[in-house]
Amino acid sequence: MLMKTNQYDADAGIYIEQPSRPSLFTRAVLSFERYLDHRRERRDLLSLDDHLLKDIGLGRAEAERIARKPFKWL
């Protein structure tokens, strides 16, 4: 997620929007939110019964394999 900042271009006499990186704190909060989403989705997947798993094309073993995948912090 890039944020915009304005930078003055003296040659053109105008402000130009330039992308900037979010702060370390913002990136940490966004990563933690992604982690919570990941954890919730995996928990929800494991809570489905076999009939519902079959409806989405998964078996119990496949759902458990997906749920055990580690979170990638990036």
In a domain, 47, yes or no: yes
Q: Given CA atoms 32, 37, 42, 43 in this order, what sign does their dihedral have?
A: positive
> In total, how many domains does the chain have?
1
In a domain, 17, yes or no: no
Domain that holds residue 53: 23-74
In a domain, 18, yes or no: no
In a domain, 10, yes or no: no
Quote the CA–CA distance of 68 and 34 in Å, as a whole number. 16
pTM comes to 0.63
pLDDT score for 5? 60
| Predicted confidence (pLDDT) per residue in 10-51, tens digit | 777 777 766 678 889 999 999 999 999 999 999 999 999 999
pLDDT at residue 3 is higher than 70: no
pLDDT at residue 1 is higher than 60: no
In a domain, 4, yes or no: no
In a domain, 2, yes or no: no
In a domain, 13, yes or no: no
